[in-house]
Amino acid sequence: MQRKQIIPAILLAVVIFLLFPGCKEETSPRPRGYFRIDTPEKHYQTFDTSSCPFTFRYPEYSAIEKAASHPDKPCWFNLSTQQLNAKIHMSYTPVNNNVADLIEDSRTLAYKHAIKAEAIQERRFVNPDANVYALKYELKGNTASSVQFFITDSTKHFVRGALYFRAQPNKDSLAPLIRFFDADIDTLIESFKWR
């Protein structure tokens, strides 16, 4: 008789176990995360060479590299930050009554990224005391270049720059680095002076 009592008790326990799975919170998969990137402290030094008609402040963690594609142009160089796989390409062109063409070329190069960009924001910098006029393009989205800019005095000198990462464009994973270098580019532009 005991055996007859055990079987219904086991069946009752199984039914209760199946009907009441427990008080669990609903779970959802974790969102995809990215590695934390440690950035160096910001300290600046002055770019000042007699071969270029300008000076500016740039980060100590960046090194000046000659542009391999233009070894004959001393004012074409990269501000390279190896530890973060980033480069700011810089090029200098003297103005010969063609400042409008140079500005349009810079605009065209920035807006070539419009296919991939979610938005392009323009920010102007004006320092009439130093005769420095600049325009920075901030490209939002998965673009090859996140920030591009030009600096001119509108009569003699024109400098163009662009930030690139040696990585596949991914706005989410690169966002902290873009913000980090954006501040460096602002410092570069705001400290820029012609000789």
Q: What angle do CA 61, 65, 71 make, to 5 degrees?
A: 170
The one-letter code for the residue type at 176 is: P
- The mean predicted confidence, pLDDT, of the chain is 89
Alpha-carbon gap, residue 188 to 184, rounded angstroms: 6
Q: Look at residues 162, 149, 146 and name the one whose alpha carbon lies nearest to residue 87.
A: 162
CATH level 2 (architecture), domain 46-194? 3-Layer(aba) Sandwich (3.40)
139-155 pLDDT per residue, tens: 998 898 999 999 999 99
Provide the token pair at 182: 């954006």
C-alpha dist (Å) from residue 136 to 16, 31, 60, 182: 67, 33, 22, 10
Residue whose tokens read 């070539």? 112
3-class DSSP state for residue 183?
helix
Query: What are the structural domain ranges in the chain?
Result: 46-194
42-88 pLDDT per residue, tens: 999 999 999 999 999 999 999 999 988 888 898 999 999 999 999 99
* Higher pLDDT pick, 90 / 39: 90
Alpha-carbon gap, residue 195 to 185, rounded angstroms: 20
DSSP-derived secondary structure letter, 27: -
150-169 pLDDT per residue, tens: 999 999 999 999 999 988 87
